[in-house]
């Protein structure tokens, strides 16, 4: 039986709304091996907890939290051989929804034994204030502006609906522009998503082709400084064909370089958390992390279009 570290964020949205959920989930995890319980003590502490547990011999790092906490733990594990076991405990739970782990932590914990280990690539982003890996996505421009504008108190009350409220508040405003270089494809954009997952915020699919088993990012970028231009973009996303909208580019990517236009600050988000401003370099890092994934997700991911077609 593997030695297990159980890391959780006491401030995660789902856990705050469901007293006792941590203890019940923890009991389900104990059936797989001896568990050391490790609550985070604040922002940016989960990665250090993971490193400490790896030094103590942990073979599985089970993390119950939102995408931000799972991201922090993954950063403490990249390059090592221990296995990441994510459980949904946050607001959007992008990674768990994407991989068919689901949004119920008790059911997800009970089904850990049915998952399979896979070695995957991760993303990496570096700018003046951020140097870290990510499992799901990094975005710059419009979506990061929305993330920065979300009121934490409203997020606690409304969950992921708070992001929609913030997003619709952007209509009528002028959007900051930036230069992007995606493996040599150069253009001016107002929103760029570099994603390892199809699911976006639990409700949408913007990057519709990539999987965690691909050794690339999917870059979806949008042109235009007028926010009303995003109405047809949103419609394209809702019907599953953003690539058919004029001004939208979709491609597999390995290295992306982004720089603000005219020195105006352009924010960045990583897995739904604010991550500073441009300029930034985003890249894929192959063979970076072992993760337990449901078989249904693996079977679907093996058919990813990017395995045979680098552009669409």
Residue 109: inside a domain: yes
- Residue-wise pLDDT for 196-215, tens only, equals 999 886 678 999 999 999 99
**Residue 301, domain member (yes or no):** no
Q: How confident is the model at residue 24 (pLDDT cuts 50, 70, 90)?
A: very high
Question: Residue 64 in 3-state DSSP?
Answer: strand
293 inside domain: no
Per-residue pLDDT tens digits for 214-236: 999 999 999 999 888 888 998 99
In percent, the amount of the chain with pLDDT more than 70 equals 89
Least reliable range by pLDDT among 142-156, 211-225, 252-266, 287-301 = 142-156
Lowest mean pLDDT among 63-77, 143-157, 178-192, 205-219: 143-157
Q: Are 64 and 8 in contact (CB under 8 A)?
A: yes
Is the pLDDT at 250 greater than 80? The verdict is: yes
The CATH number for 108's domain is 3.40.50.10330
Lookup: tokens for 251: 């491609």
Tokens coding 263: 């020195």
pLDDT of 312 reads 47
d(CA 33, CA 301): 29
Q: Residues 100, 130: one domain?
A: no
What's the pLDDT at 93? 87
Mean pLDDT of 100-112: 96
Q: Taking the CA atoms of 41, 66, 152 and 172 in sequence, report the sign of the dihedral they define.
A: positive
pLDDT at res. 27: 96
Choice between 133 and 15, residue whose per-residue pLDDT is larger: 133
pLDDT confidence tier of residue 307, bands split at 50, 70 and 90: low
Domain extent at residue 60: 4-114
CATH number of the domain encompassing residue 266: 2.60.200.40
Domain identity same for 161 and 94: no
H or E element at residue 34: none
Summarize pLDDT for 269-303 with one digit per residue, the tens: 998 788 999 999 999 999 999 999 999 999 999 98
Judge whether 304 lies within some domain.
Answer: no
Q: What is the pLDDT of residues 59-100, one digit of tens each?
A: 999 999 988 899 999 999 999 999 999 999 987 788 999 999
As a whole number, mean pLDDT of residues 179-188 equals 97
Q: Say if residues 42 and 36 touch (Cβ distance below 8 Å).
A: no
Query: What DSSP designation does 176 have?
Result: P
Q: Are residues 110 and 137 in the same domain?
A: no
How confident is the model at residue 234, as a pLDDT?
Answer: 86
């Amino acid at each position: 039986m593997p030695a297990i570290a159980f890391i959780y964020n006491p401030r995660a949205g789902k856990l705050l709304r469901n007293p006792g959920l941590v203890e019940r989930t923890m009991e389900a995890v104990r059936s797989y091996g001896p568990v050391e319980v490790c609550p985070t003590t604040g922002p940016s502490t989960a990665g250090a907890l993971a490193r400490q547990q790896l030094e103590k011999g942990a073979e599985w790092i089970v993390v119950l939290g939102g995408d931000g906490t799972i991201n922090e733990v993954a950063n403490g594990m990249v390059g090592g051989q221990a296995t990441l076991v994510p459980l949904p405990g946050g607001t959007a739970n992008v990674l768990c929804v994407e991989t068919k782990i689901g949004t119920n932590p008790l059911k997800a914990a009970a089904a850990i034994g049915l998952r399979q280990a896979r070695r995957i690539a991760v993303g990496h982003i570096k700018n003046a204030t951020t140097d870290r890996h990510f499992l799901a996505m990094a975005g710059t421009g419009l979506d990061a502006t929305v993330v920065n504008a979300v009121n934490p108190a409203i997020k606690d009350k409304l969950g992921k609906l708070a992001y929609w409220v913030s997003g619709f508040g952007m209509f009528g405003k002028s959007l900051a522009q930036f230069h992007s270089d995606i493996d040599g494809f150069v253009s001016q954009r107002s929103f760029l998503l570099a994603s390892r997952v199809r699911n976006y915020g639990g409700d949408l699919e913007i990057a519709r082709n990539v999987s965690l088993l691909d050794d690339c990012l999917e870059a979806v970028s949008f042109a235009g400084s007028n926010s009303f231009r995003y109405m047809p973009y949103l419609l394209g996303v809702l019907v599953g064909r953003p690539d058919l909208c004029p001004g939208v580019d979709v491609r597999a990517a390995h290295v992306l370089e982004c720089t603000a236009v005219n020195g105006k600050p352009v924010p960045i988000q990583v897995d739904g958390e604010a991550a500073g401003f441009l300029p930034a370099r985003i890249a894929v890092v192959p063979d970076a992390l072992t993760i337990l994934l449901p078989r249904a997700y693996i079977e679907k991911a093996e058919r990813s279009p990017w395995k045979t077609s680098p552009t669409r």
